């Protein structure tokens, strides 16, 4: 099976979630192409792991289910469009033009408005997209397939693909309804004789025509077709013919064209964001693997960046006052079975997360600060600099070294922490 650009990043996200749960990557003893960038190596590793676990079969089944579901929804939408028009034209004649416009156009416009109000606010599956995903989850009954499905959603959310994808599904569904509705209307009006009129029960005639002029303004601007007016020298047959053409253009203007433009815009956004796919190697899982790959390519040598004058300049000053306790994990949490305490801040991996923790401590120093560090990580200068930047905002700093399977750098961490008199376990 040939993987697409999207699939490769999807498998990388799936593998990242596995790496977060694992104590230590177990497959990095197999060499990767060192000529590629670090991101390409992570993608290559994810694809290789998927092949070893036979997950490409599940990816293929996912795409088969997606194509089948697309076909089913397309058939359902076409039946809705045909059935709506048939139900309208089966009404007793003459058919109310205002009622016809409401039946063929109003639901589409209302759903378009709801989509604009809610679907763009949060990147969360809604509407027909949520319904389709639930069916996909139901079709993926094996645990491996369910895990891949969850990774698919997470991947789309991280890469900002979920919003344009939901737009494509929603607008595509309603575009099919509008297309078949308009096509059925043209077909029936071309080969059958129907009578139309302006009819109302509670509105006065001037009010009715005001509504008609309001509805007909945009079709008149786009196609130059005025609102049909009943009476005068216009015969009933001529009025019905003009009214039929006007009704068709209203469906085209208010139902088909907006959905077509929205669908085109969503597809352009989707295509653009596909070209912008990338991996944030500071994320938990990616960071650990990227560090292991770099260490492997360096010949597994420890870059002990505290050697030299720059390291000697680090000074740990501690606060005189502080309240409470705070626990955080540096780069990732190495022990998935560990039960986080109430005072657990979370994982501090990216630059943004590190700055957020630092700002919180600056605003409210703590009495005890505990940092959980995986001993499989290489001790480097940046880590020690970050520890030194946290020290002024706590009375007591403690590092808990978490052992991991495979080679570790526990001794190097202990030596480095002893140099700066930082407590550790």
Length of the chain: 425
Cα–Cα distance measured from residue 292 to residue 152, given in angstroms and rounded to the nearest whole number: 25
How many angstroms from the chain centroid is the CA of residue 252?
31
Give the model's pLDDT for residue 321. Answer: 83
DSSP for 210-253 reads HHHHHHHHHHHHHH--PPP--STT--HHHHHHHHHHHHHHHHII
Cα–Cα distance measured from residue 141 to residue 143, given in angstroms and rounded to the nearest whole number: 7
What does the pLDDT average to over 364-373? 90
Contacts of 219 (CB under 8 A, 6+ apart): 225, 246, 249, 250, 252, 253
The pLDDT tens digits for 106-163 are 999 999 998 888 776 666 676 777 778 778 777 766 777 778 888 888 898 889 898 8
pLDDT classification of 81: cutoffs 50, 70, 90: very high
Which residue, among 154, 143, 209, has the nearest Cα to 9 in the 3D structure? 154
The pLDDT tens digits for 265-278 are 999 999 999 999 99
Of the given ranges (136-140, 169-173, 310-314, 421-425), which has the lowest mean pLDDT? 310-314
With residue 10 as reference, give the H or E element that holds it: helix 5-21
Q: β-strands 366-374, 344-348: how paired?
A: unpaired
Model confidence at 88: pLDDT above 50: yes
With residue 95 as reference, give the H or E element that holds it: strand 95-96
Cα–Cα distance measured from residue 16 to residue 282, given in angstroms and rounded to the nearest whole number: 11
Which residue, among 109, 114, 85, 101, has the nearest Cα to 185 in the 3D structure? 85
Structure tokens at 204: 């006065």
Report the alpha-carbon angle 326-332-335, nearest 5.
85
Q: Are 385 and 422 in contact (CB under 8 A)?
A: no
Contacts of 166 (CB under 8 A, 6+ apart): 119, 125, 126, 127, 129
Which residue, among 208, 135, 144, has the nearest Cα to 169 in the 3D structure? 135
The percentage of the chain sitting over the pLDDT mark of 70, rounded to a whole number, equals 88
Give the model's pLDDT for residue 32. Answer: 67
Burial of 269 (0-12, 13-18, 19+ CB in 10 A): middle
Which residue, among 103, 61, 101, has the nearest Cα to 80 in the 3D structure? 103
What does the pLDDT average to over 247-260? 96
Give the model's pLDDT for residue 49. Answer: 87
Q: Which runs of E-coded beta strand occur in 331-392?
A: 344-348, 366-374
Q: Are 306 and 314 in contact (CB under 8 A)?
A: yes
> Bridge partners of 366?
394
Task: Name the DSSP class of 115.
Answer: I
Give the model's pLDDT for residue 311. Answer: 42
The pLDDT tens digits for 279-320 are 888 787 787 777 777 766 654 344 444 443 344 467 788 888
Structure tokens at 205: 């005639």
The pLDDT tens digits for 9-54 are 999 999 888 877 664 555 665 666 666 788 888 898 889 888 888 8
Give the model's pLDDT for residue 221. Answer: 93
Cα–Cα distance measured from residue 297 to residue 4, given in angstroms and rounded to the nearest whole number: 28
Contacts of 281 (CB under 8 A, 6+ apart): 38, 39, 42, 287, 290
Report the alpha-carbon angle 401-402-405, nearest 5.
135
Q: Are 300 and 407 in contact (CB under 8 A)?
A: yes
Give the model's pLDDT for residue 303. Answer: 44
The pLDDT tens digits for 395-408 are 999 998 888 665 57
Give the model's pLDDT for residue 356. Answer: 87
Helices (H), 159-193: 162-191
Which residue, among 260, 238, 54, has the nearest Cα to 177 in the 3D structure? 260
Give the model's pLDDT for residue 310. Answer: 40
């Amino acid at each position: 099976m040939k993987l697409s650009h999207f699939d490769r990043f999807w498998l990388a996200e799936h593998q990242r979630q596995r790496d977060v749960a694992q104590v230590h990557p177990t497959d990095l003893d197999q060499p990767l192409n060192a000529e590629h960038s670090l991101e390409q190596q992570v993608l290559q590793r994810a694809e290789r792991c998927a092949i070893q676990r036979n997950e490409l079969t599940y990816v293929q089944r996912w795409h088969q289910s997606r194509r089948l579901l697309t076909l089913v929804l397309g058939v359902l939408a076409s039946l809705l469009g045909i059935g709506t028009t048939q139900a309208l034209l089966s009404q007793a004649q003459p058919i109310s033009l205002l009622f016809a416009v409401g039946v063929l156009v109003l639901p589409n416009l209302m759903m378009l408005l709801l989509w604009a109000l809610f679907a763009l606010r949060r990147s969360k599956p809604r509407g027909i997209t949520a319904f389709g995903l639930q069916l996909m989850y139901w079709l993926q009954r094996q645990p491996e397939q369910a895990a891949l499905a969850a990774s698919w959603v997470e991947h789309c959310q991280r890469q900002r693909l979920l919003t344009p994808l939901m737009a494509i599904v929603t607008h595509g569904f309603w575009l099919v309804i509008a297309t078949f509705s308009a096509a059925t209307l043209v077909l029936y009006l071309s080969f059958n004789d129907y009578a139309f009129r302006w009819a109302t029960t509670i509105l006065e005639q001037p009010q009715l025509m005001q509504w008609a002029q309001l509805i007909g303004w945009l079709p008149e601007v786009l196609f130059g077709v005025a609102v049909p007016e009943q009476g005068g020298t216009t015969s009933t047959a001529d009025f019905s013919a003009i009214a039929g053409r006007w009704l068709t253009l209203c469906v085209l203007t208010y139902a088909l064209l907006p959905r077509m433009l929205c669908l085109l815009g969503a597809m352009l956004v989707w295509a653009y964001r596909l070209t912008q796919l990338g991996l944030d190697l500071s994320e938990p899982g990616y960071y650990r693997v990227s560090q292991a790959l770099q260490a492997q390519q360096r010949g597994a040598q420890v870059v002990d960046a505290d050697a030299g004058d720059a390291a000697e300049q680090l000074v740990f000053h501690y606060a005189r006052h502080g309240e409470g306790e705070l626990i955080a994990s540096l780069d990732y949490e190495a022990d998935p079975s560990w039960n986080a305490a109430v005072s657990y801040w979370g994982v501090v991996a990216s630059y943004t997360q590190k700055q957020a923790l630092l700002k919180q401590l600056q605003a409210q120093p703590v009495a005890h600060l505990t940092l959980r560090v995986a001993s499989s990580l290489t001790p480097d200068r940046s880590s020690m600099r970050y520890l030194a930047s946290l020290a002024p905002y706590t009375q007591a700093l403690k590092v808990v070294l978490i052992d991991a399977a495979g080679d570790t750098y526990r001794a190097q961490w202990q030596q480095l922490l002893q140099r700066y008199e930082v407590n550790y376990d």
